[in-house]
Amino acid sequence: MKPNPLLGVVLFVATITPLHAEPDPHSYAEPLKVSISALDLDLAVDFSKQELAGQAELSLDWHDAAARTLVLDTRDLHIDAIEAIDARGSAAAVSYTLDASDAILGSALRIELREASPKLRIRYHTSPKASGLQWMTPQQTASGKHPFMFSQSQAIHARSWIPLQDTPSVRFTYTAHITTAKPLRVVMSADNDVHHALDGDYRFSMKQPIPSYLLALAVGELDVRETGPRTAVFAEPSLVVKAAKEFEDTEKMIAVTEQLYGPYRWDRYDILVLPASFPFGGMENPRVTFATPTVIAGDKSLVGLIAHELAHSWSGNLVTNANAQHMWLNEGFTTYVENRIIESLYGKDVATMQLVVDDQELLVEMADMKPREQLLVSDLTGIDPDEGLSGVPYDKGRWFLRFLESRYGRADFDPFVRAYFDHFAFKSITTRDFLVYYSANLEKQHPGKVSAAEIDEWLHQPGIPESAPIAHSDRFDAVDKAATDFLAGKLAAKAIPARQWVTSEWLRFINALPAKPDAAQLAALDKAWKLSGTGNAEIAFRWYVATVRAGYTQARPQIAAFIERIGRRKLVVPIYEELAKSEDGKAFAKEVYRKARPGYHPITQASVDKALGL
Asked, for residue 468, whether it belongs to a domain, the answer is no
Would you state the pLDDT for residue 389? 84
Instruction: Give the Cβ contact number of residue 150 at 10 Å.
Output: 23
Q: What is the pLDDT of residues 553-563, one digit of tens each?
A: 999 999 999 99
- For residue 15, is pLDDT > 70? no
More confident residue, 303 or 120: 120
Asked, for residue 483, whether it belongs to a domain, the answer is yes
Would you state the pLDDT for residue 463? 98
Longest distance between any two alpha carbons in the chain, whole Å: 84
Distance CA 443, CA 433 (A): 14
CB 467 within 8 A of CB 403: yes
Structure letter (DSSP) for residue 437: H
Exactly one of 51, 284, 309, 443 is catalytic; which is it?
309
Given 410, 436, 460, the domain boundary residue is 460
Would you state the pLDDT for residue 19? 55
- For residue 287, is pLDDT > 90? yes
**% of the chain at pLDDT higher than 70:** 97
Same domain, 233 and 211: no
Distance CA 110, CA 516 (A): 55
pLDDT classification of 14: cutoffs 50, 70, 90: very low
Rg of the chain taking only CA atoms, in angstroms: 24
Same domain, 347 and 387: yes
Same domain, 153 and 282: no
Same domain, 212 and 229: no
Q: What is the pLDDT of residues 409-433, one digit of tens each?
A: 999 999 999 999 999 999 999 999 9
Asked, for residue 428, whether it belongs to a domain, the answer is yes
Would you state the pLDDT for residue 3? 29
Distance CA 178, CA 205 (A): 12
Q: How many helices (H) and strands (E) does the chain have?
A: 19, 21
CATH number at residue 539: 1.25.40.320
**Strand runs labelled E in 13-154:** 34-46, 51-62, 69-74, 78-85, 91-93, 95-98, 107-112, 119-125, 133-136, 148-151
Asked, for residue 180, whether it belongs to a domain, the answer is yes
Q: How many structural domains is the chain composed of?
A: 4
Same domain, 185 and 325: no
Q: Is 88 exposed, middle or buried (0-12, 13-18, 19+ CB in 10 A)?
A: exposed
Distance CA 374, CA 390 (A): 9
Asked, for residue 347, whether it belongs to a domain, the answer is yes
Q: What is the pLDDT of residues 203-248, one digit of tens each?
A: 999 999 999 999 999 999 999 999 999 999 999 999 999 999 999 9
- For residue 526, is pLDDT > 50? yes
CATH number at residue 100: 2.60.40.1730
Same domain, 348 and 419: yes
pLDDT classification of 12: cutoffs 50, 70, 90: very low
Q: What is the pTM of this model?
A: 0.90
Nearest Cα neighbor of 57 from 123, 126, 128 is 123
Lowest mean pLDDT among 4-18, 71-85, 265-279: 4-18
Asked, for residue 369, whether it belongs to a domain, the answer is yes
Same domain, 217 and 229: no
Same domain, 233 and 300: yes
- For residue 479, is pLDDT > 50? yes
Would you state the pLDDT for residue 17? 43
Tell me which residue range forms the domain holding 579: 475-611
Q: Respond yes or no: is residue 248 known to be catalytic.
A: no
What pairs with residue 81 in β-bridges? 123
Given 428, 460, 492, the domain boundary residue is 460
Same domain, 216 and 229: no
The contacts of residue 609 (CB under 8 Å, 6+ apart) are none
**Strand runs labelled E in 126-265:** 133-136, 148-151, 171-179, 185-188, 201-211, 217-220, 223-228, 231-235
The contacts of residue 482 (CB under 8 Å, 6+ apart) are 491, 496, 497, 498, 509
Asked, for residue 470, whether it belongs to a domain, the answer is no
- For residue 5, is pLDDT > 70? no
Same domain, 72 and 215: yes
Would you state the pLDDT for residue 572? 97
pLDDT classification of 20: cutoffs 50, 70, 90: low
- Please give the full DSSP string across 512-572, using - where no structure is assigned: TS-SS--HHHHHHHHHHH--TT-S-HHHHHHHHHHHHHHT-GGGHHHHHHHHHH---HHHH
Distance CA 252, CA 575 (A): 35
Same domain, 120 and 203: yes
Q: What is the pLDDT of residues 37-85, one digit of tens each?
A: 999 999 999 999 999 999 999 999 999 999 999 999 999 999 999 999 9
Three-state DSSP at 273 gives strand
CATH number at residue 339: 1.10.390.10
Structure letter (DSSP) for residue 101: P
466-478: average pLDDT? 96
Three-state DSSP at 270 gives strand
Please give the backbone phi and psi of residue 306, each rounded to the nearest 5 degrees, phi first: -65, -40
Would you state the pLDDT for residue 412? 98
What pairs with residue 206 in β-bridges? 174
Q: Respond yes or no: is residue 600 known to be catalytic.
A: no
The contacts of residue 442 (CB under 8 Å, 6+ apart) are 404, 408, 412, 413, 416
Asked, for residue 467, whether it belongs to a domain, the answer is no
CATH number at residue 305: 3.30.2010.30
Q: Can you state the angle between helices 569-579 and 602-611, rounded to 10 degrees?
A: 20
Distance CA 33, CA 15 (A): 14
Exactly one of 394, 420, 593, 600 is catalytic; which is it?
394
What pairs with residue 185 in β-bridges? 220
Distance CA 329, CA 281 (A): 19
pLDDT classification of 590: cutoffs 50, 70, 90: very high
Would you state the pLDDT for residue 330? 97
Same domain, 177 and 205: yes
Given 460, 494, 510, the domain boundary residue is 460
pLDDT classification of 154: cutoffs 50, 70, 90: very high
